[in-house]
Each structure stands twice: as C-alpha cells, then as structure tokens.
Amino acid sequence: MTEVAVLEQSHDFGCELRRRRTEALLSLEELGRLVHYSKGQLSKVERGLKRPTPELARLCDTQLRAGGALSALVPRQEADRPLPDSGYDGEVWLMRLDQDGSSSFQPVRRRSVIAAGAASVLTMHVEAAGTPDPSGAGADTVVDASRLLFDQFRRIGQASGPAGVLPPLIAQTHALEQLAMRSGSRTRAALLVLASRYAEYTGWMAQELGDDRSALWWTDRAVQLARAGDDPALVAYSWVRRSLLCLYRGQLRESVELSERALNSDAPPRVRGLAAQHLAQGLAAEGSHDACTRSLEQARGLLDRGLSDPVAPVLGASHLPDVVAMFTGWCLYELGRPDEAAQVLDREHARIPEHAMRTRARYGVRRALAHAAAGEIDHACHLTREVLPSVRLTHSATIAADLRRLVHTLGRHPRQASVREIGPELSAALALHSPAPRGHSHA
C-alpha cells in the first residue's frame, strides 16, 4: 500500500469515527476513557494525522456499536512474503551438535547425496543394518516406551527453550523410522504413526524458535510418515498447522482458508475441532464476531466428540483444561472486548498446571495484554512481572510476538509509574528473542 493510500484510508477512518462519536453524543475525552486511549491520540486519528490500528478500530466498533464498519476501514496489513517453501524432498537429513550448546538441522535433497558420492550414505546404511529388529513383545515394548518418552519430551518442552529438545526429537524421529523399516506390518504402522507425531511436534518446536521453514519441513515430513503408517488424519492437521503459521505472519485470509479446508475435510472430530478453533481465531482477528462465535461453538462440539485415545499422543494443545474456553477469551480480546477477555483468561489461566510453563507464559502474556487494553495498567504490569521469568525460560518466538503487542499497548501510557518500572525488564526479555536465522538452524 502506498503512502498516499495510507493517508486516504486514515482520513476515511477519522471522518467515520468522528461521525459515529458525535452521533453517540460522546466527546473525545469520553470515548478515550471507554477505549483507554488519550484524547490527544484520538484527535490525531480523527484528523487523519495518525494511522489507526486494527485494535483501536475494534475497540471503537464495540463502544460505538458500529457492527464492524470501523474495522472494515482498517484492514490488517498482510505479510509481504508468503509461507516459505519447506524444501521437503525425501528422507535424508544431517544434524550437527556444537560444544557451545547450539545445534543445526540440515535437510539434504536426494540429488545432492547422489552427487556427493556413496561413501557417506554407505556409512549410514552400515549403521542402520546393525539396528535390532523388534518383534512380538519386544516390539510392543519399543512402541510403549517411545510413547512415554514422547510425553516426557513434551513436558521438557514446556519448561525449556525449543532448542533444547529439537536435537533429541530429530534423533528419535529418525530412530523410530529406522525401526519401522525392519518391523512386521502391525508394528511398522504403529512406529510410523508415532514417528509422525514426533515429527509434528518437532515442527511446532521449530516454529517456537521462529524458524518457519523448518516448521513446514517437519510438518511435511510428519504427513509422509503418517501416510506410510496408514493414518490420514495428519494430512488435514497439517492444514491446521499451516493456518497457525499464517496467522502469526498476519496472513489472515490464507489462515482462514486453510482452517476451513481442514474443517470441511473427512478428518476425525478432534482434527476438525482444532480447525474450527483456529478458524475462530482468524475470524476474530478479521473482526467477524458472529462467525467467530459460531466457529467456537462448532469447535466445542467437535472436540467433545473427538476424545483422544488415552494411549496415543494428543494432537494440539495438551495442557489446557478447557482449550475452547481459553481460545474464547483470546478471541474476545481480538474482537475489541478486553474486559470480557480478561475475565475469561483470568479464570482459565488459574487452571493451567504449574509445570506447564510454556503454556502459562503464553496465556499469561495474553492475560496481561487483555488487562492493559481494558485500562488496568498497574494490574497488567503486575501480571507481566509475574510471567516474565517463564517467558525468558521458554524462549518462544510466538510468545514474543504477543509480548511485543503488550509493549505497544503499555507504551500508550508512558506517564504511568508501573509502565516506566517494567520497561527495562520488557526490553531485556524481548532482546532474548532476536529473529532466528534463515534456513534450518537451531542455535
């Protein structure tokens, strides 16, 4: 969008905001108190001197009962770049571990391996040939132990940065696939499906690190493994994962389309329920209140029907007692209803297990953001200080995205003593979340 178009759009929004405000018999100061913006900030927006944000538009929509008319004048800026190509091209990959604690993952295209010669590949085959062939009770033990190990990896992932769990997740995915290749048909299918869940979680950890390309590579890898294990559910779930990546990148229309594709598929109820849940997120970000509410209700019904196998790894969030209720709270925030959002997020955050530090950090930041947008600045700063240790510990790129929104919201209140006091701590926390390097590194 050109600078001229931005100015014209800001002018149109300002004129419409002034018209609706005066019709509601509200002064700038009175509207400012309702949406928790200063009179001066709103004045600049009305005169077209300051570009309105989607958040401000939704807050004004709610208070002026504009039915989304103001939000429609401020479309959310879409990301300039589409999702990167995952580069998925076969089954060969390399992993490097350095003494300083960093690691890197490098997928290698088959033609590159062929060009390099057979020596290194022969080494891998010789090592693989020594892998034991599990069968009978031994095979069941391997599957059961690997499932338990997966649960432990997820627990460790809740209490540490993603870089700490990526190397063992990659190694375990590879080991399970190698075991599957040398097992009987029944055990092979179970091992491949389990390997697909490891690969899917590896993709999520790569996204948490801020490496979208790796996240997509592992999502594609998970789909291939699931297909080989005769489990088509992960194909539709991969669309849900991609929709989430698009949502964080600001590509709302693509996010909604991917969620709808998964929702309208023949996937199991749980996968379709997760799709409806992410669809609600995208619709809330677009300001579509009624459609968002319908999607949340649909998600509730599908997830209640799609109770997971108590033994198999759970797809999607596993540490939220009521995932739909928590997402409802966040959708209320996106829809410009921060007071209602704060009440829901307060209630649901208290139910998250203490050991689920990543989950508590994610929704702790969102909870603080809701209170800040509701004008409870001192309380928001108090909540922020409580959650910052977990934010620093879990080192999540997606949590950092919400933290930046919180910094922006608190920044509207520079004279507040609590904001000035928390400022250095917020800056230090964000400094830890510099963008991940391109490619597939996990430093």
What does the pLDDT look like over 90-106, one tens digit per residue?
A: 555 565 655 454 555 56
Q: How confident is the model at residue 232 (pLDDT cuts 50, 70, 90)?
A: confident
Cα–Cα nearest to 83, from 239, 269, 291: 239
Average the pLDDT over 144-171 and give the result. Answer: 89
d(CA 225, CA 217): 12
C-alpha span between 151 and 138 (Å, rounded): 20
Superfamily of segment(s) 3-72:
lambda repressor-like DNA-binding domains (1.10.260.40)
CA distance 401 to 369: 12
Q: Is the pLDDT reported for residue 171 higher than 50?
A: yes
Give φ, ψ of 96 to 5 degrees. -125, 135
Per CATH, which fold does 93-318 belong to? 1.25.40
Question: For residue 154, what are its two tokens?
Answer: 């997820």
pLDDT digits (tens, 9 = 90+) for 312-327: 567 777 788 899 999 9
